[in-house]
C-alpha cells in the first residue's frame, strides 16, 4: 500500500493544480499571496500619489545605504 502513496500524491497534484489556476484566473481561488490585486480603474491622482510614495521609499533606502554601506558588518 505504501508504494502507491507517492504516485497517488502526484496524480492528485496533477488534477488539483490546473483547477486552482483556472479558479485563480477568475478571482475565485487563493491567487497570489504576495501581491494585492490592483483596482481595475485607477485615476491619474492615484498613480501620481503612488509614484510619490515610491520615490520617498527609494530616497529613504538610498539615504540609509549612504550611512551604512552594504559590505559593512553589523556588530
**What was the pLDDT predicted at 17?**
78
The tens digit of pLDDT for each residue in 24-67 reads 666 665 555 545 556 666 788 888 999 999 999 999 998 888 77
Distance of alpha carbon 36 from alpha carbon 12, whole angstroms: 28
Tell me the DSSP string of 32-74.
Answer: -SSSPPPPS---HHHHHHHHHHHHHHHHHHHHHHHHS-TTPPP
**pLDDT greater at residue 10 or residue 27:** 10
Cell of 53: 510614495
- Greatest extent of the chain over all pairs of C-alpha atoms, in Å: 62
**What was the pLDDT predicted at 28?**
62
The pTM of the full predicted model, rounded to 2 decimals, is 0.38
**What was the pLDDT predicted at 59?**
94
**What was the pLDDT predicted at 65?**
83
Amino acid at each position: 500500500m505504501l508504494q502507491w502513496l507517492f504516485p497517488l500524491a502526484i496524480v492528485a497534484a496533477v488534477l488539483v493544480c490546473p483547477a486552482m489556476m483556472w479558479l485563480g484566473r477568475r478571482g475565485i481561488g487563493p491567487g497570489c499571496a504576495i501581491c494585492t490585486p490592483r483596482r481595475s480603474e485607477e485615476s491619474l491622482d492615484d498613480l501620481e500619489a503612488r509614484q510619490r510614495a515610491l520615490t520617498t521609499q527609494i530616497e529613504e533606502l538610498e539615504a540609509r545605504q549612504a550611512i551604512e554601506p552594504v559590505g559593512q558588518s553589523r556588530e
